[in-house]
Amino acid sequence: PHSPYSPITLDFISGRSYAPICNFPQPAFLLRSTIRSLSAQNTSSVQGLLPKTSLSSPPWPEIKLPDPAEEAEHHREIVQNVNELIATGQYGRLFAVVHFASRQWKITSEDLILIENHIPAECGDRIRMEKVMLVGADNFTLLGKPLLGKDLVRVEATVIEKTDSWPRVNVKFRRRKSYETRKIFIQPQTVLRINSIEIAPVLS
């Protein structure tokens, strides 16, 4: 007779194989259920000791937003200090970043800028640059979002020269093909002198 615990028995004489015999006694099922319950308890206890993941809480530290009242008080103090510097004139030489002729320029008083474009103004005309993105001094900087208000800063310049650039020759040549083309490019130019950069006497 076959043993109830042998998984498979081979008959080497006839060359036949028999299906596994699974007549386990009842205590084996009780043993397996006990092992499963113990393993489930161990797994739950180990999961409680594992570190938190991104599924339970974000991995980055929690950012605490400032108190609105404290932030308003801090803003009031900064504006008051800047107004005192402007009133006394102790802010040094101003500089600005303006958007003009499809470019951004960092300028200060008495600067000369060469613009590779034609502007509708004659020599000697005084113009105002309205798209001011930034104004800075020694102790403070005013940033626009993206531009500063027209009542907050005023940048003026004078057109001092309108001319054309040197001719630029573009040559295309193909060897042994008797092919050669020449194109001459002349770009209009305008020279501006920055007259003044002024800010409002009182910031709101």
Q: Which pair of structure tokens corresponds to residue 185?
A: 């490019």
- Does the predicted TM-score (pTM) go above 0.75? no
Answer yes or no: are the C-beta atoms of 148 and 132 closer than 8 Å. yes
User: pLDDT tens, position by position, for the chain (204 residues)?
Assistant: 545 544 444 444 444 544 454 454 455 555 566 666 666 555 555 555 666 665 667 777 888 888 999 999 999 999 999 999 999 888 899 999 999 999 999 999 999 999 999 999 999 999 999 999 999 999 999 999 999 999 999 999 999 999 999 999 999 999 999 999 999 999 999 999 999 999 988 887
Answer yes or no: are the C-beta atoms of 98 and 104 closer than 8 Å. yes
DSSP string across 108-146: ETT-EEEESS--S--TT-EEEE--EEEEE-SS-EEE-SS
Of 127, 103, 125, nearest to 116 (Cα)? 103
3-class SS of residue 52: coil
- Phi (first) and psi of residue 191, to 5 degrees: -105, 130
CA of residue 91 relative to chain centroid, distance: 31
Strand partners, 89: none
Strand partners, 157: 127, 194
DSSP string across 47-87: HHHSPP-TTTS-SSPPPPPPPHHHHHHHHHHHHHHHHHHHH
**AA letter at 130:** E
Residue 26: its H or E element: helix 26-49
**AA letter at 83:** N
| Cβ count within 10 A of residue 191 | 16
